[in-house]
Amino acid sequence: MKAQVFRGVNQLSYEEVPVPEIKPDEVLVRVNVVGLCQSDIKKIRYPLYNPPRIFGHETAGTIAAVGAEVQDWQVGQRVVVLHHIPCMHCGYCLNDNFSMCEVYKNITTTAGFIPSGGGFAEYVKVPAHIVQHGGLIPIPEAVTFEQASFVEPTNCCLKAVKKAQIAPGQTVLVTGAGPIGLMFIMLVRYFGARAIATDLLPTRIEKALSVGAEAAFDARDPDLVSKIHALTEDMGVDTSLLAVPSDKAFFQALDCTRKGGKILFFAEFPDEVEIPINPNILYRREIDLMGSYSSSFRVQSLAADIVFNQRIDVDALISDRYPLRDLDAAVEQAVAPSPETYKILIYP
């Protein structure tokens, strides 16, 4: 089969590799669509992981083979493949910090080499732990593979929205209106809150409005803070969701968030960035700073429900489709997005 193998920083190689062999308790899935995620781009472009690996984790496909001991799944079923499932009994899992669980981190789907998701290949192997604990989700007939590939990113965004306790009637600032920021806007709306967005690109500002933001501004607007105060009875927003790794965006969010409000870091910053902060901001203004990384088992069924029942319009997020062979071009486009670039999907 063909796969895109990570051979070193910025070195993707489109290669012939063996189809993974499955054990009696494993499942093999033919990949129909896999989403390109910001985290894939980081793993490809920064020295975070030793090669060789096959990345890709927003996978929707068709079961191609099942091991002799697998009872609940049949060849031909359309499925979302989750690349991690927590153990559910370690100290992290018992406190709902599933993405810190060692089992969650270490057991993953693979298309060969060091297991790393494996979605950027024609076939991906699903290990027993993931097969047995809810990591395969059947795709309803009315749902396309493309839509289904959004279950994982929806889970990650939903986890953040839940962690920030976004509730009806609140106002939320979303900094950055790329694919993640746009999904946040949709979810904030779904939870009955108002969304205000910022971005640097005029097209993204327009797009934010078209997917449901009540207002959207250029992040460089010198009157941004007063405009947001004008929309929030001079209090500021209840919560800010940072969907761009920018310290400027953080300080802007700090100025725009009300006393007692929350700021949630969703984007991964470059490691060298440090943000100086006066602790009295946390004390006197009671601003809560929080982060949300990866997905949560707890919101998995809700994430699937939201996508499968089209409670948010994930199709509106798709801007480009690339064949797997051109993954490097897709990464280039995501790194230097054109004004119309949003979610990029990859077809093996």
Shortest spacing between CB 348 and Zn ion, in angstroms: 17
CA angle 293–296–297, rounded 5-degree value: 155
| Nearest CB to Zn ion, comparing residues 64 and 90 | 90
Shortest spacing between CB 227 and Zn ion, in angstroms: 32
| Nearest CB to Zn ion, comparing residues 153 and 181 | 153
Residue 3 CA to residue 323 CA, distance in Å, equals 11
Nearest to 277 by CA among 289, 267, 265: 289
Q: Going edge to edge, which strands form the sheet with 171-175? A: 215-218, 194-199, 171-175, 237-242, 257-265, 288-291
| Nearest CB to Zn ion, comparing residues 73 and 98 | 98
Residue 29 CA to residue 144 CA, distance in Å, equals 16
Shortest spacing between CB 171 and Zn ion, in angstroms: 27
- Note the residues at the interface with Zn ion (CB under 5 A): 37, 86-87, 90, 93, 101, 153
Residues in contact with 281: Cβ distance below 8 Å, sequence separation at least 6, in sequence order: 254, 287
| Nearest CB to Zn ion, comparing residues 221 and 268 | 268
Cβ 43 vs Cβ 55: under 8 Å: yes
Shortest spacing between CB 24 and Zn ion, in angstroms: 25
| Nearest CB to Zn ion, comparing residues 93 and 107 | 93
| Nearest CB to Zn ion, comparing residues 149 and 171 | 149
Shortest spacing between CB 249 and Zn ion, in angstroms: 20
| Nearest CB to Zn ion, comparing residues 93 and 172 | 93
Shortest spacing between CB 92 and Zn ion, in angstroms: 5
| Three-state SS at 264 | strand
CA distances to 182, 191, 270, 311 from 163, rounded to whole Å, are 18, 13, 23, 20
| Nearest CB to Zn ion, comparing residues 19 and 93 | 93
Shortest spacing between CB 201 and Zn ion, in angstroms: 22
What is the CA 287 to chain-centroid distance, rounded?
25
Shortest spacing between CB 157 and Zn ion, in angstroms: 10
Q: What is the 3-state secondary structure (H, E, C) of 205-261?
A: HHHHHHCCCCEEEECCCCCHHHHHHHHCCCCCEEEEEECCCCHHHHHHHHHHEEEEE
Q: What DSSP state is assigned to residue 43?
A: H
Torsion-angle region of residue 80: left (phi > 0), alpha (psi -120 to 50) or beta? beta
